[in-house]
Amino acid sequence: MSLMADPPGADRLSARLRRDTRAAHDAAQASGFLDALAAGRLSWVAYADLAAQHWFLYETLELAGHTMADDPVARAFVFPELVRLPSIEADLRFLHGPRWPDRIAALPATTTYCTRVRYAANSHPVGFIAHHYTRYLGDLSGGQYLGDAVARVYGLNGDGNRFFVFPSIDIAAFKSYYRRLLDTLPWSPEEQDEFVTEVIEAYRLNVAVLDELARRWI
């Protein structure tokens, strides 16, 4: 063992995941669209467009959650308190008006992302948990900073920014519980590799959506 050996626990899946996806996360964090939004440089319409893209994505992801609710491995990740679709729909009603379903459209990159989620997450737990992790842990992490910024910039307090609010979750406790769940998954090394690869793909798909939003609104 070298003097520079990893600290105990560094081989847990949650630790490996953070390590191996850090670069992909940092690329997503560096997205010009989210920075501009948080800094108050974008119109309300640009924010309403991001909320619309969330609708397409969470509709697909949460449908996969229904499908996976009986899967012996994936069902531990199906938490009713994470479900975002009703909050997104309330936001869309506020941001786009009562006829919001006629007023929103998926960007090409959002359609690509949804297609990938449908393919990867509906039939096997590795893909489902990869996409679940990337979105919900993101929403509970950087998403909380973004939610605060959006509330401040657009003067929202409830209506319009419900997506970012998880009223029945203690965020710090939930994130450590979630990481423990990851660490107890009964996966082979090959399945763990597949999982990390799919998370990196999920980051890439997020960046593609954010880049399209940037091209449209910045």
Q: Which tokens in the block code for residue 153?
A: 């910039």
Residue nearer to ligand HEM on the CB measure, 61 or 137: 137
| Binding test (CB under 6 A) with ligand HEM, winner from 6, 10, 18, 39 | 18
* Selected binder of ligand HEM within 73, 93, 122, 142 (CB under 6 A): 142
Q: Of the candidates 28, 88, 150, 185, which one interacts with ligand HEM according to CB under 6 A?
A: 28
Confirm or reject binding of residue 82 to ligand HEM (CB under 6 A).
Answer: no
Q: Which of residues 172-191 bind ligand HEM (CB under 6 A)?
A: 175
Binding of ligand HEM by 204 (CB under 6 A): no
Report d(CA 173, CA 183) in Å as an integer.
Answer: 15
- In terms of Cα–Cα distance, which of 84, 174, 79, 77 is closest to 126? 77
Q: Does 137 participate in binding ligand HEM (rule CB under 6 A)?
A: yes
The footprint of ligand HEM (CB under 6 A) covers 17-18, 25, 28-29, 34, 133-135, 137-138, 141-142, 145-146, 175, 203, 206
